[in-house]
Chain A
Amino acid sequence: DVKVTQSSRYLVKRTGEKVFLECVQDMDHENMFWYRQDPGLGLRLIYFSYDVKMKEKGDIPEGYSVSREKKERFSLILESASTNQTSMYLCASTPNKQGGTPSLYFGEGSWLTVV
Chain B
Amino acid sequence: AQSVTQPDIHITVSEGASLELRCNYSYGATPYLFWYVQSPGQGLQLLLKYFSGDTLVQGIKGFEAEFKRSQSSFNLRKPSVHWSDAAEYFCAVGPYGGATNKLIFGTGTLLAVQP
* Interface residues in chain A, defined as those with a beta carbon under 8 Å from any beta carbon in chain B: 4, 31, 33, 40-45, 48, 56, 58, 90, 92, 94, 96-104, 106-109
Contacts and interface: CB of A to CB of B under 8 A. Distances in A.
B96 A48 contact: no
A104 B32 CA distance: 13
Given A101-B94, A102-B100, A103-B49, A41 B44 contact: no
B interface, how many residues as a size bin? 20 to 34
Contacts of A103: 34, 46, 49
A48 B94 CA distance: 16
B43 A45 contact: no
A106 B56 CA distance: 25
B107 interface: yes
19 contacts: A4-B43, A41-B107, A42-B108, A43-B44, A43-B90, A43-B105, A58-B101, A94-B100, A99-B97, A100-B96, A100-B97, A101-B32, A101-B51, A101-B94, A101-B96, A101-B98, A106-B43, A106-B45, A109-B42
